[in-house]
Amino acid sequence: MALSPQFLDELKHRFTLSDVVGRSVKLVRRGRESTGLCPFHNEKTPSFTVNDQKGFYHCFGCGAHGSVIDFVMNTQGMTFPEAIETLAGEVGMEVPKPSREEVERQKERASLTEVMEAVAQWYQTQLRSQIGKGALDYIKGRGLSNETLTRFGLGYAPSSRTALKDAMAARDIEEDQLVETGMLIKPEDGGAAYDRFRDRLMFPITDRQGRVIAFGGRALSKDAKAKYLNSPETTLFHKGATLYNWANARAASYDVGQVLVVEGYMDVIALAQFGIDYAVAPLGTALTEEQISHLWHMADEPILSFDGDNAGQRAAGRAVERALPMLRPGKSLRFMMMPPGDDPDSLVQREGRGSIEALIDEADPLVSMLWNNLTTGVQADTPERRAGLEKKIFTKLAEIQDENVKGLYQRDFRNRLFEQFRPPRRNTQRNRMQRGGGKRLAPATGLLASTKLGRIKTGAAVTDSIQQLLVLTLVHHPEIMVRHEEEVAGLVFTVPGLDELRNALVEKAAFGETLDREAVHAHLEGSGLMDIVRKMSADGSLKGDWFAWPEAALSDALTGFEHLLSRYQHITAAKEAYEQAEADYAADMTDENHARFVAAQATYRALEEKEADKEGYRLESGRFSFI
């Protein structure tokens, strides 16, 4: 549909965008804009804005952006022409008529579609005739009901070489049209045309509007060269742009917010018979970019089903590779691996709908599949091999086109690398105190819990400052990592962003990389982590601690760092001891546990008060306190 910019602008101006969006999203007016929860991703805090003056919506959470036309397309699963027709009809605008050439093409397509509908009806009649008894017995033996057969329009192509050709000729359907739709094969030597599908169970393939555009045929004879045979590429049918059960699943997916991609026709049909109506299948090939785009119009995270064997794992890997460059905010894939020896058809027939839904709930996100593909079986036991693995990973991630998604994948994979190759953690005070390695007891309730309200409020702020200074010192004097790598790896941070900075530093140390300031800063800049450093550097409350800054001598930085580390370890251990004593007393209120709780509480509070005093001195004097 070729429409002028003037028409599209006029159509958009006929609508108040917030009125259209407000039909499905609860909006609150904020000045010139309206805000609400984004309809394109799950969120609890509104980040979706609508600007009527500018005529667009934008989500600051997932990046969704567009006009009233885009909104209708993406929320109702419409194509561009469908959205235009719908909106124009609402405001009484007449959509410009297509050119003469386009009219002719549309007439041709309509005529060919009518041919395919006639063929489909004839195949259905054959299935229920005496000639199709064997095919009907076979399909009922697969557990399908009459209602399901009718719903999916299954039919039978007789074994005769010209059965379809002769039947359509009797209906005055031209042979050339049957050749053009792929239903007849015309030999190149000029011989007589003959039926493409013979002695096959026939599955009509429809477009998104439900019009028959092609067929898939399953051979019933064991001697057939191909078990499954699809229509060839035609004016109506493009295999890589079509999905089996597209029209039915399209409607169902909007109700459940999900779409499931399985391998074959029988998987789709069996699932539908058990109430899972939102399944589709590619047509004998791996998913294409265009098919993935269609799936994303149906759901944000389509689930792809694969066999659980090695071949299935390889197929899943190819799907990851295909989708990776296309990822964008809010749009990804999940992967459902079948139990060995099962496919969706066999599993749902044997164990019912719940068995499939359980697998759907456990489906792995694309990020996990990609990590497994890149790391499974890889030897990374030397610095050189680890460096090779890291290069392989980040080269692959560079294929992601969306910069926001790419950056988040890079950060996620850095954390995974760190966790896989991190040095062993030290035993913490808390580990030593937990008797018998038991689980942490539940938090205290009632009167005991109320004592928490009396905790000194400055404690968290003081430890936040210590945490930030520890990491700043390491960033500006990374040589300290050589002496304290194991201790740094075992630290627990509560300030957002510090774990990621620490992980990046420990990762470089563990991989044997250069630990000079320039190299570390360049690494953090490339990783998008230097912004956290800049934010901390701008915090005036940290300025007085001269040892943490680049200008300090390494010896001064080391002295200050070690003193600060000791303080942090002491207060952290005291806090852990206090929390453990509190949990023990909550579980068993004996005199002994009460005495331990009171003593641990007093120790922790005394340390908090001491740290608060030091913090006050440091801020007033403008220098680090060695009290």
Q: What mean pLDDT value characterizes the chain?
A: 84
Residue 302 has pLDDT above 70, yes or no: yes
Q: Buried b vs exposed e over 6-31: b needs ≥16 C-beta within 10 Å?
A: eeeeebeeebebbebbeeebebeeee
State the pLDDT at residue 459: 45
pLDDT in tens, 153-171: 999 999 999 999 999 999 9
Residue 436 has pLDDT above 70, yes or no: no
**Residue 142 CB coordination number (10 Å):** 13
The DSSP secondary-structure symbol of 553 reads -
How far is it, in rounded angstroms, from Cα 164 to Cα 184? 8
Using CA atoms of 39, 40, 41, 46 in order, give the dihedral in degrees to the nearest 10.
-40
State the pLDDT at residue 377: 87
**pTM attached to this predicted model:** 0.60
Domain map (residue ranges) of the chain: 5-91, 100-237, 246-372, 377-421, 431-621
How far is it, in rounded angstroms, from Cα 34 to Cα 527? 35
**Residue 617 CB coordination number (10 Å):** 14
Dihedral pair phi/psi, residue 568, rounded to 5°: -65, -40
State the pLDDT at residue 44: 85
Q: Which of 7-16, 142-151, 340-349, 509-518 shows the lowest mean pLDDT across its residues? A: 509-518
H-type helices in 77-205, by residue range? Answer: 80-91, 100-127, 133-141, 146-152, 163-169, 175-180
Q: Does domain 100-237 have CATH number 3.40.50.800?
A: no
pLDDT in tens, 20-29: 999 999 999 8
- How far from the centroid of its chain's Cα atoms is residue 348's Cα? 25
pLDDT in tens, 381-415: 888 888 899 899 999 999 999 988 998 898 889 87
| CATH for the 5-91 domain, from 3.40.50.10380, 3.40.50.620, 3.90.580.10, 3.40.30.10 | 3.90.580.10
User: Which range, 289-303, 473-487, 527-541, has the best average confidence (pLDDT)?
Assistant: 289-303
The highest-level CATH class for domain 246-372 is alpha beta
Task: Please tell me if the domain spanning 100-237 has the same topology as the one spanning 246-372.
Answer: no
pLDDT in tens, 219-274: 999 888 889 999 999 999 999 999 999 999 988 887 788 999 999 999 999 999 99
CB 557 within 8 A of CB 480: yes
**Residue 236 CB coordination number (10 Å):** 22
How far is it, in rounded angstroms, from Cα 419 to Cα 184? 60
